[in-house]
Amino acid sequence: MTESIGQEFLRRTCYTELSKSPQELGTIPQPPLEISAPEGAVLIDLPAIDSIKVTEMDLRQAIEGRKSLRKYADTPLTTEELTYLLWVSQGVKHISTRPSTARNVPSAGARHAFGTYLLINNVEGIKSGLYRYLAIENKLLALEADPQINALVTSACLDQQQVAFSAVTFLWVAVVERMYWRYVERGYRYLFLDAGHVCQNLALGAEQLGCGICPIAAYNDDEINGVLGLDGKEQFVIYIASLGKKLK
């Protein structure tokens, strides 16, 4: 096999290549567990997770039933269903004195270095648009976005129509400093590993609610980062998944 950038990435993120981390050096404080909402931002309270009742499903049934779906019913999600999906994929169970968050997915060193953005198209009681999930507070932050946000996100996803017609599309954003602070260069490996954990939990939770997802890695990086207002370096889109109710 010819030399490639992939091989270079693996080589440069080996333990033998790593510099000392800011955590080891004590030069930089631990980054915040979450990017806070701007002053005066519009926040939407989500239902308390303890109040949400969902149909129980055998784990094997969920695993065997899972498959990528690109066409969805017009049926909207309820706010309870959306909250449950956010909970299983990124919900915070508690905050330790470290401090760190314990969530429903594993993460290297409990760094949980993601933000969850949502393109909401068809959720009862929530206006269509772009949002960010505040996992610690269990709230949605309404983001200022172009009125054509659906078309812009769909275009950035190489015009994959499951995005345009989804009830909601999840866009996970890597917040690099949160992982780099502890793991420096090797942390980039962990970001991509952690993204897989998150998406798999979303897939299993979706099965429980009669929904399907389509994990998406085919997107124009610069375009999607630009649409979300990200610099593409300190924060960048790492994984996407469209979701909607299954067709009968």
Break the chain into its structural domains and give their ranges: 41-245
In this prediction, residues 108-129 reach a mean pLDDT of: 98
Contacts of 138 (CB under 8 A, 6+ apart): 45, 46, 48, 49, 83, 91, 92
What pTM does this model have? Answer: 0.97
- Whether the per-residue pLDDT at 54 is higher than 70: the answer is yes
In this prediction, residues 14-41 reach a mean pLDDT of: 95
Contacts of 201 (CB under 8 A, 6+ apart): 88, 89, 104, 105
Q: How confident is the model at residue 229 (pLDDT cuts 50, 70, 90)?
A: very high
- Whether the per-residue pLDDT at 144 is higher than 70: the answer is yes
In this prediction, residues 199-208 reach a mean pLDDT of: 98
- Whether the per-residue pLDDT at 1 is higher than 70: the answer is no
In this prediction, residues 48-52 reach a mean pLDDT of: 96
| Amino acid 122: pLDDT | 98
**CA separation for the pair 184, 173 (Å, rounded):** 18
- Whether the per-residue pLDDT at 193 is higher than 90: the answer is yes
Q: How many CB atoms lie within 10 A of CB 134?
A: 22
Mean pLDDT taken over the chain: 96
Of 108, 69, 106, whose CA–CA distance to 90 is shortest?
106
In this prediction, residues 48-77 reach a mean pLDDT of: 96
| Amino acid 15: pLDDT | 94
Fold of the domain spanning 41-245: NADH Oxidase (3.40.109)
- Residue for token pair 């996100």: 153
- Whether the per-residue pLDDT at 2 is higher than 80: the answer is no
The per-residue pLDDT for range 171-187, each reduced to its tens digit, is: 999 999 999 999 999 99
Residue type, 60: R
The per-residue pLDDT for range 88-101, each reduced to its tens digit, is: 999 999 999 999 99
| Amino acid 3: pLDDT | 79
In this prediction, residues 21-38 reach a mean pLDDT of: 96
